A and B are shown apart, each in its own frame.
Chain A
Amino acid sequence: MNKFISIESIARRYPKAGGGSTTIFENLWFSMNRGEFSAIIGHSGCGKTTVLNILAGLELPDDGLTVVDGHAIEGPSLDRAVIFQSHALLPWRTVLGNVSYAVSSKWRDWSAEKVAAKAMAAIEKVGLKGSEMKKPAELSGGMKQRVGIARALSIDPKILLMDEPFSALDALTRGALQDEVRRICVETGQTAFMITHDVDEAIYLADKIVLMTNGPEAMIAEIVENPLPRDRRRVDLHRSPDYYPLRNHLIDFLVTRSKTFKDEMPEGYDKRHPPIVRPGADNPLTPGETRKVA
């Protein structure tokens, strides 16, 4: 049990209108190593955002617990930075003001110059130098999300939590920001957890892809290890022999198995240890078949 992040048997239930409760998920287990990039994919309503909120500390699980770096999560923490889907910038502050706000929240006794310098470093990292005195309203959607990323990175978080950060952006901007995030995460060894709907985004960014079945009572069907090389580039992603087997596996899951998994659970399925699979050229999995590799 020396995992960096460990989700242990968490459950989340919401009260139903007519009494009783709906179980979003229960007995959910999942862990991450330091420096790992995990993406979780699944249909809307499967509880992905709830898992992220629990990791962020914005919601508490009804059962179970989440441990980060040896400490149980009891609430939000500056160790865990969130990049919100809607960027959530404070519109009355400038770009620098927004990032400085995070920096001065983390290091409360820092001088104004030190805070500004740290914030500027984060702004430069996401390529927004020159726009630091602009208000969010003057920025494009992509630039706003860059500020959101800069704000999250500026506090040197142990883990970066991303809730569909690029879903509101156009395809070109999305691609550019994915490159940016991948570069930063690889360079700095940032541990990251991301929710996405986009299979290609998951393939490009994530080392581990968590497949979640449809809710309610969603489960982690399996954890897919990304067989693509770590130094992968967007332009030749699709030329890799492992790309299509992986992509097909993910699409098959989203299209059919996310619905049917509950009725066709593989033999020996254990919620605590969901099967780890590694689809690739040498291991093309047919839908419904999961081969344990670990």
Chain B
Amino acid sequence: MLTSLNARGALLSAVIFTVFLLAWHIGVQGKASVAQMDPEYARLMGVAATQGKSAMPGPLDVGAQIWQHLQEPFYDRGPNDKGVGIQLAYSLGRVLLGYALAVLVALPVGFLIGMSPLMNRALDPFIQVMKPISPLAWMPLALYTIKDSSISAIFVIFICSVWPMMINTAFGVSATRKEWLNVARTLEVRPLRKAFTIILPAAAPTILTGMRISIGIAWLVIVAAEMLVGGTGIGYFVWNEWNNLSITNVIVAILVIGLVGMALDQTLARVARAVTYPE
């Protein structure tokens, strides 16, 4: 047992993945018997009926499709045929825009709530009511008032990411250690400097936790939102490929959504690690 835990974990992951791929591959081999049918009728039916092949694509099909997408991720052949890279860029753009707006609102308001017990009491009922609303429930209202499907999607991202960040910021700010605040008081540090040099660094790890929760929710919601509003984006891509009955592309899209979500989460985890202070 000389190999590190990490190496052994990676090995086990690879084994599990291989077993999964094999099971998948065997599972979609299809049944041997093919019903005899009129050739005219057979032409209307897919390969599943005529050659006994499973309608579910196997790992090799998906692999080939991924390879094809990698060859040309950014092609654009009209509104219903764009490369997966373009679709991802649209989705990421919406998420980052909505998320950035949420940061701009949540951090200052969270700071205010955290510093003022009065504001905390006053705003708490609103936050408690708004927080559990499914972001997609806002969609009709957004479409009606904003009248632009793309901006509505951004609004939905904004509304779903703002609450976890706000609540965490408020909590982090209000939990700033009294002794650090006393240090600032005895040094006659002015309020703005205190906010940036004491409270912000003290609350940063908690704030980042909220931001990480928010980016996760935002990425979950964008897929559903784009399925609703259509046009562009990875969510729309999934729905479009479902309408095309291209299960292979749907699987590819699912994989890509997972990978991008992970990348977003890891990026914020890295930032969180940078602002975390050991005591």
| Residues on A facing B (Cβ under 8 Å) | 56-58, 75-78, 80-82, 84, 86, 88, 90-92, 101-102, 105-106, 135-137, 155
Set of chain B residues within 8 Å of A101, measured between Cβ atoms = 187, 197
Assess whether B6 is interfacial by the CB under 8 Å rule: no
Partner of B186, one of A57, A86, A90, A135: A57
Q: How many Å lie between the Cα of A57 and that of B187 in the bound state?
A: 11
A58: contacting residue among B177, B182, B197, B277, CB under 8 A: B182
A77 and B197 CA atoms in complex are apart in Å by: 19
Name the B residues within 8 Å of A92 (CB-CB). Answer: 201-202, 204, 275, 277
Is A76 a contact partner of B179 (Cβ separation < 8 A)?
no
Cβ distance A276 to chain B, nearest Cβ, rounded Å: 30
> Which B residues are CB-close (under 8 A) to A88?
177, 179-180, 182-183
Asked if A82 contacts B180 (CB within 8 A), the reply is no
Instruction: Count chain B CB atoms within 10 A of each CB in A92, A135, A137 and give the residue with the most.
Output: A92
Known contacts A84-B183, A88-B179, A90-B201; decide if A137 and B188 are in contact (CB<8 Å).
Answer: no
B40: Cβ under 8 A from any A Cβ = no
The answer to whether A137 touches B277, judged by C-beta atoms less than 8 angstroms apart, is yes
Residues in B194-220 with C-beta less than 8 Å from chain A: 197-198, 201-202, 204
For residue B53, give the distance in angstroms from its CB to the closest CB of chain A. Answer: 61
Are B188 and A77 within 8 A (Cβ)?
Answer: yes
Instruction: Name the residue on A nearest B185 (C-beta).
Output: A76
Report B-chain residues with C-beta under 8 Å of the C-beta of A84: 179, 182-183
| Residue B38 at the chain A interface, CB threshold 8 Å | no
Q: How far is the CA of A135 from the CA of B275 in the complex (A)?
A: 13
- Complex interface: chain B residues within 8 A of A80 (CB): 186
Complex Cα distance, B44 from A189, in Å, reads: 102
A136–B277 alpha-carbon span in the complex (Å): 10
Q: Nearest Cβ distance between residue A96 and chain B, in whole angstroms?
A: 15
Shortest distance in angstroms between B74's beta carbon and chain A's nearest beta carbon?
42
Task: Contacts A90-B198, A135-B278 given; indicate if A105 touches B182 (C-beta within 8 A).
Answer: no
CB neighbours of B204 from chain A (8 A): 92
On chain B, the residues within 8 Å of A90 by CB distance are 180, 183, 198, 201
Q: Mark B167-180, 1 if CB is under 8 A from A, else 0.
A: 00000000001011
Contact of A102 among B177, B185, B187, B201 (CB under 8 A): B187
- B contact face: mostly helix, strand, loop, or mixed: helix
Q: State which of B187, B202, B277, B278 has its C-beta within 8 Å of the C-beta of A105.
A: B187
B189 proximal to A (CB < 8 A): yes
Q: Determine the distance from Cα of A57 to Cα of B202 in the docked complex, in whole angstroms.
A: 23
**What are 7 inter-chain pairs, A to B, with CB distance below 8 A?**
A76-B185, A77-B188, A86-B179, A91-B278, A92-B204, A106-B187, A137-B279
Bound-state CA distance A136–B204 (Å) is: 18
**Residues of the B chain whose Cβ atoms lie less than 8 Å from the Cβ of A137:** 277-279
Chain B residues within 8 Å of A105, by CB: 187-189
- Inter-chain contacts of B179 with A (CB < 8 A): 84, 86, 88
Which residue from chain A places its CB closest to the CB of B183 in the assembled complex?
A88
Tell me how far the C-beta of A57 lies from the nearest C-beta in chain B, rounded to whole angstroms: 7
Contact present for A155 and B187 (CB under 8 Å): yes
Given contacts A90-B198, A92-B201, A105-B188, contact A135 B183 (CB under 8 A): no
B188 neighbours in A (Cβ, 8 Å): 76-78, 105
A136 to B183, CA, bound (A): 15
Nearest A residue to B188, CB-CB: A78
Contact of A81 with B197 at beta-carbon distance under 8 Å, contacts A88-B179, A91-B278, A91-B279 already known: no
**In the complex, which residue of chain B has the Cβ closest to the Cβ of A93?**
B201
B187 contacts A56, CB within 8 Å? no
* A106–B197 alpha-carbon span in the complex (Å): 15
Determine whether the beta carbon of A78 is less than 8 Å from that of B187: yes
Q: A62 to nearest B CB, angstroms? A: 19
Residues of chain A within 8 A of B183, CB atoms compared:
84, 88, 90
A86 to B279, CA, bound (A): 12
User: In the complex, A137→B277 CA distance in Å?
Assistant: 8
Which of chain B's residues has its CB closest to A86's CB?
B179
In chain B, what residue has the closest Cβ to A78?
A: B188
Shortest CB distance B193–A (Å):
8
Assembled-state Cα–Cα distance A135/B201 (Å): 14
**Given pairs A76-B187, A92-B275, 20 additional interface contacts (CB within 8 A):** A56-B186, A75-B185, A76-B185, A77-B186, A78-B187, A78-B188, A82-B186, A84-B179, A88-B180, A88-B182, A88-B183, A90-B180, A90-B201, A92-B202, A101-B187, A101-B197, A102-B187, A105-B187, A135-B277, A137-B279
Most B CB within 10 A of own CB, among A57, A88, A102:
A88
